[in-house]
Structure 1
Amino acid sequence: MKGNTVFKRSYNQCLRQLAGHPIGAALPSESEFSQLLDVSRTTVRAVLASLAKAGIASGGVGGRVLQRHPLATDYFPDMQTLSAGAAVERRFMEWILQGDFRAGQLLNAAELARQFGTSTTTIREHLAQFQHFGLLERRPNSAWLYKGVTPDFAAEIYDVREMFELRATRNFIELANDSPPWRELDVIEAEHRALLANIDTEYQSFPQLDERLHRLIHETSGNRFIIDFYDIVSTFFHYTYRWNRSDEKQRNTIALLEHLDYIEALRSRDQRAIDARCRKHLRTARATLARSIAFGPFRVPSSPVGVSS
């Protein structure tokens, strides 16, 4: 299982690297891929074999070359690329944000461990982390009170997101023009324009594109706290948005246009312009979040509803 996770994570990472290469470009050697992906050559060979099978890369006179750019359907789902601990964390967050669980309900660590197929120790570690974020409160007898995603909680997580993303843009614009993140940004921008041209029928595919753009920016920070925090932010924002789909096409169209303005500012390397476009886009995201929260399950009952142990 672990090896399979490493392979899938490396495969996705490789696709992101290749997204910015021109068609017909030579691929790095096995040794170079091994260093780039920080995995063994055995894993690299498995990745390259899968690229060939998918028609993304093939052998040529001078070695392997890029045959086509990766599509969204070529990537493994995020859940399949996470470590066991990270997968539990993501599944727990998704479960909480699905809207079926109410603020004021009690959680039992042993029952959650059975539900998610993991150990009680692992569950308790992640519950403690969400306690730190203010989503949970420790109660006697191994119980945890779910406090709900309140407007105050959303405002706090938004403030940290803005601070981290603005910091990450400073690292991004210091990268060389031919670096992989800039090449990937080219591909992401092209996909934005393609989606905008077909927004009437394809608007529901925007969240994946949104995830790729913001994650690309955060990951260039090289700061593990910023990168790890974005996992929480991404899951939180995208699942919360699902609580209100009444204006989904309209808000996704606005976000696409703001993304293109944001990308244009990044290309200018003008930090004042970048800050202005970033803040404008995140203000829109904050307003969308507030509207979604108004539809969410936040009415706290007069007495907690227990979850059987």
Structure 2
Amino acid sequence: MASNKTYLFKQSINRMLTQIEELPEGQYTMANDMELTRQLNISRTTVRACIEHLINNGLVKREGSHKIVLRQPEDTDFFDIENKASTKDEQIEKYFMSLIHHGELLPGDRFSELSLAKNSGCTTISVREFLIKFSNNGLIKKIPRGRWQMVEFDEAFAKELIDFREMLEMNALNDLLRAPKDDVIWSELADLLRAHQEVRADMENRYMEFPDLDKAFHFKLRDKKPNRFINQFYDIVSFICHYHYQWDKNGELERFTVACNEHIAILENLISNDHASAVLAMKQHLESAKKTLMGCVHGLEV
């Protein structure tokens, strides 16, 4: 489903389609994977996923190591990533988080404001403001000449984050449980439950859709009490818990499956008005999240 593709994937597809449109007359072969990796500043994994998408949509075919263009792109082949309701802050955040989630930025990696601006379609001012905001959490740091570096977070930071998250999310759950039964939140939670169930039914193929569900789930829980300071905290949570670059990618399917099942248990208990079970399910989910996060910090035990 197109809506479940990441911003980086959609943007990379659009850039490949533009490259196809701009091929010289009589040339019907795309650049090789290594060259696309360099041109688009994405990983080979992302390149392969994008090429597979183009093949499935009848735009190209593989002949050995070559990618032969079968037809010119149509307007419907492009993803709509402009999202006029989205601010530049949201646009750079989507792009930056996608880089981290796909392993394009790793601990110790350096990157420039200019390259982020160019590849995300944002201004350097928007990029700089976004990076300054996230530098406050200690996970990226400024280095000379408009450059930044990814850094690790330590045990103390992780434990403080866990304690604060537990307090906020249990408080949000209790607020939600007090919502009237005719509140629109309950139909929205039912929609979210169905989205989780659809992904779980084909988890092996769709597990990469879970981070977006994860973020939607935790943001929806606090929907009854919006708070700008809590919003800032959840920006950090998204950065670390949903997109953290130190996670072993080989364990993602298992972790996402566990978390998806825990979300479903919470949502089912909320919708069925079983308050006690909803609270217990949330406590279980937060305990699992604690073990996962602490495991990111040099294999620490909780």
Q: Which TM-score band applies after superposition, normalised by the shorter structure?
A: 0.5 to 0.7
Alpha carbons 1:99, 1:243 under 8 Å: kept: no
In structure 2, what is the equivalent of residue 66 of structure 1? none
Does residue 171 (structure 1) correspond to residue 171 (structure 2)? The answer is no
CA distance in 2, matches of 1:159, 1:270: 25
CA distances 1:50-90 after superposition (whole Å, capped 9, x unpaired):
xxxxxxxxxxxxxxxxxxxxxxxxxx879775311221133
1:256 to 256, 260, 283: 260
Residue 236 of structure 1: CA displacement? 3.7
Does residue 147 (structure 1) correspond to residue 151 (structure 2)? The answer is yes
Residue 196 of structure 1: CA displacement? 4.4
Alpha carbons 2:100, 2:243 under 8 Å: kept: no
CA shift in 2, pair 1:204/1:102, >3 Å: closer
In structure 1, what is the equivalent of residue 36 of structure 2? none
2:117 to 105, 113, 116: 113
CA distance in 2, matches of 1:170, 1:146: 36
In structure 2, what is the equivalent of residue 48 of structure 1? none
In structure 2, what is the equivalent of residue 216 of structure 1? 220
The unaligned stretches of length 5 or more in structure 1 are: 1-75, 296-309
Write the letter of the residue equivalent to 1:279: K
SS at match of 2:225: coil
Write the letter of the residue equivalent to 1:212: A
Alpha carbons 2:241, 2:293 under 8 Å: kept: yes
Q: Which stretch shows the higher mean deviation, 131-140 or 267-276?
A: 267-276
In structure 2, what is the equivalent of residue 238 of structure 1? 242
SS at match of 1:257: helix
CA shift in 2, pair 1:136/1:249, >3 Å: closer
CA shift in 2, pair 1:190/1:109, >3 Å: closer
CA distances 1:118-170 after superposition (whole Å, capped 9, x unpaired):
33332222222112111233445544443235555444444333332222223
In structure 1, what is the equivalent of residue 94 of structure 2? 90
**1:59-78 alignment, distance < 5 Å:** none
Residue correspondences, number: 221
Residue 231 of structure 1: CA displacement? 4.2
TM, length-normalised to structure 1 = 0.56
Counting aligned pairs with the same residue, the percent is: 31
CA distance in 1, matches of 2:137, 2:298: 21
Alpha carbons 1:241, 1:288 under 8 Å: kept: no
SS at match of 1:137: strand
CA shift in 2, pair 1:133/1:144, >3 Å: same
Alpha carbons 2:270, 2:278 under 8 Å: kept: yes
CA shift in 2, pair 1:157/1:260, >3 Å: same
Residue 282 of structure 1: CA displacement? 1.7
TM, length-normalised to structure 2 = 0.57
SS at match of 2:180: coil
SS at match of 1:182: helix
CA distance in 1, matches of 2:253, 2:138: 32
**1:220-299 alignment, distance < 5 Å:** 220-240=224-244, 243-267=247-271, 274-291=278-295
**1:186-225 alignment, distance < 5 Å:** 186-199=190-203, 202-225=206-229
RMSD, matched Cα:
3.8
Alpha carbons 1:241, 1:292 under 8 Å: kept: no
CA distance in 2, matches of 1:111, 1:186: 41
In structure 1, what is the equivalent of residue 188 of structure 2? 184
Does residue 132 (structure 1) correspond to residue 150 (structure 2)? The answer is no
Residue 283 of structure 1: CA displacement? 1.8
CA distance in 2, matches of 1:256, 1:115: 32
CA distances 1:161-204 after superposition (whole Å, capped 9, x unpaired):
33322222232122110111111222333444455455565555
CA distance in 1, matches of 2:206, 2:214: 14
CA distance in 2, matches of 1:263, 1:236: 23
Residue 217 of structure 1: CA displacement? 0.8
CA distances 1:189-228 after superposition (whole Å, capped 9, x unpaired):
3444455455565555444433332221122222233235
Write the letter of the residue equivalent to 2:218: H
Q: RCO (CA 8 Å, sep 6+): is it higher in 1 or 2?
A: 1
SS at match of 2:141: strand
CA distance in 2, matches of 1:262, 1:144: 39
The unaligned stretches of length 5 or more in structure 2 are: 1-79
SS at match of 2:290: helix
